[in-house]
Amino acid sequence: MDILRIENLTKIYGTGDNTVKALDNVSFTVKKGEFIAIVGPSGSGKSTLLHILGGVDKPTSGKVYMDGQDIYAQNDEQLAIFRRRQVGLIYQFYNLIPVLDVRENITLPVLMDGKKVNEERLDELITFLGLKGREKHLPNQLSGGQQQRVSIGRALMNAPAVVLADEPTGNLDSRNSREIVELLKMSNKKYNQTLIIITHDENIALQADRIIALEDGRIIRDEVIRK
Amino acid sequence: MNVFLNVTLKTLSRNKTRTLVTIIGIILSAAMLTAVTSFVTSLRCFMTDVAIYENGDWHGGLYSVGSGKIRELESNPEVLHVAACENIGYSALSNPKYGSSPYIFVIGADSSFNSIMPVHITKGRLPETADEIILPVHLVKNGGTEFSVGDRITLDIGVRMYENTILNQQTAFIAGEDGKAGEELVIKETRTYTVVGFYERPSFESFTSPGYTAITVMDGTVQEGRTYDVYFKLKKPSAIYSFIREEQQKEGYAGSTYNDDLLMYSGVSKYLGFYTVLYSLTAILVLLIMAGSVSLIYNAFSISVSERTKQIGLLSSVGATHRQIRKCILYEAMFVSVIGIPLGILSGLAGIGVTLSIVGQRLTSLYSGDVPYSLSLHVNIWTIIAAVLLAVVTVLVSAWIPARRATRITAMEAIRQTKDINVKAKDVRTSKLTYRLFGLEGMLARKHFRRNRKRYRTTVVSLFMSIVLFISASSFCSYLKDSVTDVLKTRDYDIRWVYNTRAYTEMTPRQVYEMLAQTDGITDSVYAYVEIGNAYVEGEDIRDEFKERFGGSAGGSEDSGADNDVYEIPASVFIVPDEVFDGYVSSAGLKNADAFVMAYVEGIDAVTNKYKKIKILRETASALDLKMLRSIEAPIPEGLSEEELDALIYKKTTIDIGAVVDSLPFAINGYNFGCNITVMVPERCVPRYFAGIEVMNDVYYYFKGKDHNALADKLRDALDKHGLPSENLFDAADYEETNRNMIFIINVFAYGFIVLISLIAAANVFNTISTGINLRRREFAMLKSVGMTQKGFHKMMNYECLMYGTKSLLWGLPAAIGITFLIYRSVNSGYETGFYIPWVSIVVAIFSVFAVVFATMLYSTSKLKNDNIIDALRNENL
């Protein structure tokens, strides 16, 4: 089943002399539960693509359908809620709220909904992420790897349909990198969550089910490597 | 707790300094608003109290009503209280001073009358029974009577009749004229009273009242034809006009009155002049305060949004809606308000309370009445509510735009961590000259300045406003001071009194002087006859200096017909007792002569703005032509030409001058300001020089004493005792004191206000600059990593400081000087002065501006000194 359908996506930055075509008429579909790695050189448009998928950046033209719904047909408020519940974004630079502790950072999307936190699920996640005992710590009291795990926790808390990760291991050492990818893979298998990772690392890319290669804003290769 | 509130609070506690500065800004603003509202309330209270003291605590009055009306009013639910007096009747005075007031008018007060109406005892006590009476103090002076406390007086009391109508106290005395008979006093009864006290002249007795009001007690017997005057206060003051109008339609209506002053201060009267002025001034002040505060608080929130950009972008990317983001900022506003506003209100009340206790006494002394109140702090719940509302509005207005801006922060900005996509090359282009003159650091400083124009503009505007306000206020105060203190600059006497010899013939002027000179506490005194006229002086006797400055205005050619130009200059002639003249001659070491002359122009030089005194006459002047009013008895015939008229009205006389001197004896220094020649002549020379001229009519008495207030009172008493017009007594020292008080008060309020606004501006500057530096930590780290030294870094910051300072001064100083010019123009319309620039305050302003800017920079950069370069570059969780 297609969880994600991208049609003729184009993104142009800048005006006049300085226009940059980050994405040029990109189209593809994603099945539920797929683990996709997006690769490509710098400036190929990977991050742009991810951000548009995550509802964070608007396309210049083209459509993105998640679960059959045109996400950019929504107004700002609906889009915000979409971001809260339907996707989970993980960035390269941890992007945690520095004044909130681990627990609060992870439960951020739930708190925004004003709903009660499912303590069981939270506990499960924290154990899963290896953060037990650090619930009350602030981000500046955590190592790089731990901060990234918190990011992942936040992305997974609401059990979104799609998890998008932009170079999640870019800032980490090899051991931490491996662990992070393991976590993401586990989540992908366990919860049948669709996972799309942007990465430079060949090793990571090869662990995915499918690799999409971008160059100059266009897909140059779309290969399923694992069934 | 709401996660957004949680995040906001934690962010605020992280940035303690900025949060504190914002709270201080709100405290200052709430304090000033409270000060204004409570001052208005206190002033209103004071004016109301004064109005009640002077005129009584009533809204309306009805004259000559029957006793039934009193009961009717008392039982009327709209009426708060009633005071009534019985019009007992008139008794003729044996020797009244003024023919229009030949009676004593006896009224019987009911139990509330003496407390509700302005009956203020000066001696003795209030009457308690119907055979006790109190008399007004002016009865002694004007009534030609000699009463004291304890006297038993018998009065033949009756009604005033004219053409078969009974007249009441509202009708003036009707005298007989041209054969027609005037009013008649028909005696009805005789009563005996004991005088138990005296009271101040009441406001319910007009100046043209036919009788001096004496008060006894209502005796309770209902007499045929007795009328009453009743005064009442309504529960709703605004209803008074319709109430009285209704009464006017009723039968037996004989006249009514309103207590205009009290009604006005109760906010009711048709003549709301007081409140219109007060409220418009208040509104202007409030707007100024709000404008100043809004600039600070807006800036604070604006900075907060900038600092929280990353946080807000992140929240947005995780799924916060616009409304939730906006709430983040508004939570911040709420938090600082909840702490700041109550503290501000309390400090505002405390501040104005202290100010009024210092200044209140002086303020009430400005008010020319003798009231036992001073302006003190009075507040009610509305005062506080008004202040709170204004403060809340100020904060909301300031927070609104930053809150909206926050919603526009996209998640992309947070992710990318830079907003510099928007920098356009031409914005940050600097000239090669900058680089050559100021080096790399200067160029960087300038580029930074130009890049973040909006933020820097706020700082510059804050500084600009402070500079302008400060210098304008200083100008205002100093111009005002000048315009007031000049007037009696060289006065050497404290008290001056004058009377006309024709109006009083019982004692000679000398006898009057001797009588007055016996008063306690006089250190110097003199009397003289003063007349004015015009002096005609030949050009050769005039100094060049005078001719240069005043040649045109002081006259040109005159009627002398000679070749010399003749100057016409106003002159005052002081005819002094012989012994005063002789005493002066010997003490000044002069040769005896017929006259001495002092001739100056005094004033503030329009060019140098200094007090200047220019002599008019040369020492060689030996004679003076004077033109003065002739003594004329016969009426002036009609149809005369101008010259004939002139010759008929005026007479010329020539006085031999002994010497032109620099000073004359005590108080004979004449009119001090403007252009004037003062001639002093002894009495013995009058027949020789002033025959046929109107002289020796107005006698001026001058006194100086240690305590001018007490002396003035004693002199007034002495004058009253002898039936002389004490109202002509002028306490010049008191007048000057009043002006000084006014200046002091204005200074206190003006500078107080300025200091507070400046504090707000300083806080603003601090906020902006320190945040700007904070946000550029990465840049600074990068510069350091590339190799900029600490010294180079300081140089760069110093250049920025210079730019802030000079930009704000470049705009602020001309604006301030412009406003000073406007102040000069408005003051100049009333009194002549020169335009001068308040250099001292300009220097202070320049110094303060740079001090604040540099201090802020130093403080902020000291916090950066210890930054680890790499951490700063990464800019994580800083």
| Highest-pLDDT range among B130-139, B418-427, B666-675 | B130-139
Of the pLDDT bands very low, low, confident and very high (cuts 50, 70, 90), residue B558 is very low
SS3 (DSSP) at B538: strand
H-helix segments, B160-255: 240-249
Please list the residues that pair with B79 across neighbouring strands.
B234
Does the CB of B623 have a partner CB in chain A at under 8 Å? Answer: no
What per-residue confidence (pLDDT) applies to B878? 41
- Written as one string, the DSSP assignment of B612-648 is EEEE-B-TT--EEEEEEEB---SPPPSS--HHHHHHH
CA distances from B522 to B525, B676, B701, B830 (A): 7, 29, 12, 35
Whole-number Å distance between alpha carbons of B630 and B601: 27
Whether the Cβ atoms of residue A148 and residue A94 lie closer than 8 Å to each other: yes
Q: Which residue of A has its CA nearest to B317?
A: A56
Q: Return the structure tokens found at B330.
A: 């508004």
| Highest-pLDDT range among A56-65, B556-565, B637-646 | A56-65
- As a whole number, mean pLDDT of residues B791-808 equals 82
Q: Looking at this predicted complex, what is its ipTM?
A: 0.78
Whether the Cβ atoms of residue B85 and residue B109 lie closer than 8 Å to each other: yes
Q: Which residues of B touch A19 (CB under 8 A)?
A: none
Residue-wise pLDDT for B247-294, tens only, equals 888 887 888 888 888 888 887 766 666 677 777 778 877 887 888 788
Does the CB of B11 have a partner CB in chain A at under 8 Å? Answer: yes
Does the CB of A16 have a partner CB in chain B at under 8 Å? Answer: no
A134, amino acid identity: R
Sign of CA dihedral B130, B132, B136, B139: positive
In 3D, which of B548, B585, B555 has the Cα closest to residue B570? B555
Mean pLDDT for all residues in chain B: 81
Residue-wise pLDDT for B733-776, tens only, equals 877 777 777 778 778 877 887 788 788 778 878 877 877 777 77
Q: Between A and B, how many residue pairs show a Cβ–Cβ distance under 8 A? A: 81
SS3 (DSSP) at B138: helix
Run of H or E residues at B649? helix B642-649
What per-residue confidence (pLDDT) applies to B555? 46
Q: Which residues does B149 contact at the CB level (< 8 Å), separation at least 6?
A: B123, B124, B195, B196, B197, B198
Does the pLDDT of residue B422 top 70, yes or no? no
> Which of B311, B412, B876 faces A97 most closely, judged by CB atoms?
B311
Whether the Cβ atoms of residue B445 and residue B803 lie closer than 8 Å to each other: yes
In 3D, which of B764, B765, B745 has the Cα closest to residue B753? B745
Residue-wise pLDDT for B62-118, tens only, equals 998 888 888 888 999 999 999 999 998 899 888 777 778 888 999 999 888 888 999
Rg from Cα positions in chain B: 38
Whole-number Å distance between alpha carbons of B496 and B449: 66
Whole-number Å distance between alpha carbons of B835 and B825: 8
Whole-number Å distance between alpha carbons of B158 and B142: 21
Whole-number Å distance between alpha carbons of A25 and A167: 23
- Written as one string, the DSSP assignment of B708-725 is HHHHHHHHHHHHHHTT--
In 3D, which of A54, A53, A44 has the Cα closest to residue A21? A44
Q: Which of A57, A87, A89, A95 to probe the B interface (max B CBs under 10 A)?
A: A95
Whole-number Å distance between alpha carbons of B405 and B403: 5
Please list the residues that pair with B602 across neighbouring strands.
B613, B674
Whole-number Å distance between alpha carbons of B797 and B779: 13
Q: Return the structure tokens found at B96.
A: 């009244």
Cβ separation B410–A57 shorter than 8 A: yes
Rounded to the nearest 5°, which phi and psi values hold at B341?
-65, -50
CA distances from B283 to B40, B48, B80, B277, B522 (A): 11, 21, 33, 10, 49
B455–chain A nearest CA distance, Å: 24
Does the CB of A81 have a partner CB in chain B at under 8 Å? Answer: yes
In 3D, which of B627, B630, B624, B616 has the Cα closest to residue B681? B624
Q: Which residues does B335 contact at the CB level (< 8 Å), separation at least 6?
A: B8, B9, B12
Cβ separation A100–B314 shorter than 8 A: no
Cβ separation A109–B319 shorter than 8 A: yes
What per-residue confidence (pLDDT) applies to B561? 31
In 3D, which of B473, B574, B591, B448 has the Cα closest to residue B841? B473
A151–chain B nearest CA distance, Å: 11
* Count of C-beta atoms within a 10 Å radius of residue A70: 12
Whether the Cβ atoms of residue A88 and residue A55 lie closer than 8 Å to each other: no
- pTM reported for the whole predicted model: 0.70
Q: Which residues does B722 contact at the CB level (< 8 Å), separation at least 6?
A: B506, B507, B512, B515
In 3D, which of B177, B195, B175, B196 has the Cα closest to residue B185? B175
Q: Which residue of B has its CA nearest to A48?
A: B412
Whole-number Å distance between alpha carbons of B522 and B520: 6
The separation between the first and the last C-alpha atoms of chain B, rounded to the nearest angstrom, is 25
> Which of B311, B319, B415 faces A91 most closely, judged by CB atoms?
B415
Q: Could you say which residues from 403 to 442 on chain B have a Cβ atom under 8 Å away from some Cβ of chain A?
A: 410-412, 414-415, 417
Q: Which residues does B27 contact at the CB level (< 8 Å), separation at least 6?
A: B340, B343, B344, B347
Residue-wise pLDDT for B854-876, tens only, equals 888 888 778 777 666 666 665 54
For β-strands B103-109 and B132-136, DSSP reports them as: unpaired
One digit per residue, the tens of pLDDT, for chain A of length 227 reads 789 999 999 998 877 777 888 899 999 999 999 999 999 988 788 888 988 898 888 899 999 999 888 999 988 788 888 888 888 888 877 678 888 889 988 988 888 887 888 899 899 889 988 899 998 998 888 888 888 889 889 888 888 889 999 888 877 888 888 888 888 898 888 888 899 999 988 889 999 999 999 999 899 999 999 87
Whether the Cβ atoms of residue B20 and residue B201 lie closer than 8 Å to each other: no
Whole-number Å distance between alpha carbons of B366 and B739: 8
